[in-house]
Chain A
Amino acid sequence: MEKVMRLASEKGVVIFSKSSCCLCYAVKILFQELRVNPGVYELDQDPEGREMEKALTRLGCNAPVPAVFIDGKLVGSTNEVMSLHLSGNLIPLLKPYQNLS
C-alpha cells in the first residue's frame, strides 16, 4: 500500500496499469491526446504487483487497473476518468501537467 501511495505521489499524473490490459491502453491514449505524460507503472512487470493490486482494490477501485491518480489522490478507473472528461472536469485537473503543444 505504501508503495502504491509513494508511487502515486511521485508525479502529478500516475496510472497503474498492466501491459496486457487494453482498457488501460485506452486510458493512456486519452491522456496522450490531452497532452499529458502520466507516470505509468505496469503491475504485471513489478515483483510486488500482486500486493499492489490488492492495495488498489482496497482503495475502492472495482478493477485494480487502470487506476488513475492526480496530485497523489485517487481519481478512479476508466469509468470515473471518462465521466470527468465528459463533464469537462478532467482538463482543469490536468492543466498544470499538460505539455505545451
Chain B
Amino acid sequence: MVLAFDRNGYSNPISQREMQTTKRRFISESEHVVRAQFTTSRPMGIYEPFRQVPMWKNTFENDHILFASTSTIVDVEPNQENKVDVISRASTAPPSSNEQEGNKPLDDKVQRRLAQNREAARKSRLRKKAYVQQLETSRLKLAQIEQELDRARKQGVYLGSTSLSSSHIGNFGTLNSGITTFEMEYGYWVEEQHRQNSELRNALQARVTDVELSMLVESGLNHYYNLFRLKEDAAKSDIFYLMSGIWRTSAERFFLWIGGFRPSELLNVVMPHIEPLSDQQVAKVNTLRQSSQQAEDALTQGIDKLHQTLALSMASDPMSEGGYDCQMASAVEKLEALESFVNQADHLRQQTMRHMSRILTTHQAARALLALGEFFHRLQALSSLWAARPCEPA
C-alpha cells in the first residue's frame, strides 16, 4: 500500500496519478530542487532505480546543487510503525518560509519529521551509491560483451542462441538469411516442443485413451522430423554453423555428434522409461541399438577420414597439389561432403525414432517421447544455470 502525507501529517492512500501530481506540486514549491523529467505516462510506485537516472544525471551536471534526497514515493508496509515522509526536500536548501509553514515554532512533530527526513535522505544516498556501483559494473560488463561480439563476428559466428538475446542481434557480421531464418524457426520449434511435452505429460497423467495418445505420439514424432527438415535447409546455407551446434544450448552442445545427438545415446535415455518390455521388444531394441552404433561408427570414421585428408592437403605445398587454385578447389570439394554427413546423421536419427515407434506400444512410445523431451529440457535448464553461475573474482 502506498501512502502519501500531506503537510499536516495526515496520511491517505491515493491513486498513482494523484501521487504524481502531488509530487510535482511539492517539487515546484521548493526552489532548490533540480527539476527532473517526469513522464506522466509511467506509473509511479515502488522505488524504481532506472527512473532516477535523469535526476542524478542532472545532479552531476549541476554540481552546485546536491539533490540529496530523492523524490521517490516509498512503498509503505501496513505494519510499518515509522512512516517515512514522502515529501522531498533539498537538504541544502535553507529553510524557506514555505517549508517552515509560516512562523510556527518547531514543535516535536516537526522535529520528528525532520529527523525522518534526514533518515530518508541518508537511505537515499546509500541507494544511489549502490545503484551507481551497479551501473559501473554493468558498464564494464557491456564493454566486455561488446569485445566478445567483435571477436565472434570476425569468426563469422551467428550469435543466436548464446546467453545474449537472440532476436535483437541479427545484423552482426556476415548476415545469412538462411541461418537467420533457421534460428527463428528453431526458437519456435523449441517452444512448441515444450508445449507438446506438457500436453503429453498431462495426457499420460489423465490416462487418456490410446487413440488420443497415438495422435500425440504422431505429432511428437512429426515435430522431430520437422526439425530435421529445418536442419537440411540450414545445412545448405552454412554447414559449419550447423555443425558447431551454436544454435543449441551449451550443455546440449556437449553431446554434439555430427550436428546433433547420437541416436544410440538417445535410446539409452529413453530405455528406463519404457520398461517393462516384452522379450521380443528387447531383442528388437537391442538389434536397433547395435545397428545404430555400427552406422554411427561408420559415419564417425568417415568424418575422421575427411579431417585427415583435408589436413594433409592443406599442409602440403601448393606446388605438389597442382597449384594453389587446384589445392583450394579440391579442399572446397571435400568440405562439400560435410553437408552429406550431417544429412546422413539426421537420417539416422529419424530412422531410429521411426523404428522405435514401431517396436513400442502407443503408451510406451508416449513415455519415450516425454522422457526425451524432458531430457532436452533439463539440459537447456542446466545450460542456463551454468551461464548464471556467479563469476569468481580473478
Contact = CB atoms under 8 A, between A and B. Distances in A.
Contacts of B340: 23, 63, 78
Contact of B347 (A25, A79, A87): A79
Interface of B: 284, 287-288, 291-292, 294-295, 297-299, 301-303, 305-306, 309, 330, 333-334, 337, 340-341, 344, 347-348, 351-352, 355
A79 B344 contact: yes
A29 B295 contact: no
Interface string A58-101: 00000100000000000000110011011110100000000000
Contacts of A29: 297-298, 301-302
A82 B347 contact: yes
Nearest to B348: A82
A33 B298 contact: yes
Contacts of A79: 344, 347
Chain B binding surface SS class = helix
Given A20-B334, A30-B294, A33-B294, 11 more contacts: A22-B305, A22-B341, A23-B340, A23-B341, A25-B305, A82-B295, A82-B344, A82-B347, A83-B351, A87-B351, A88-B284
Chain A binding surface SS class = helix
Nearest to A32: B298
A27 interface: yes
Contact of B292 (A21, A33, A34, A86): A86
Contacts of B294: 30, 33-34, 85
Contacts of B309: 20, 22
Nearest to A33: B294
A27 B299 CA distance: 8
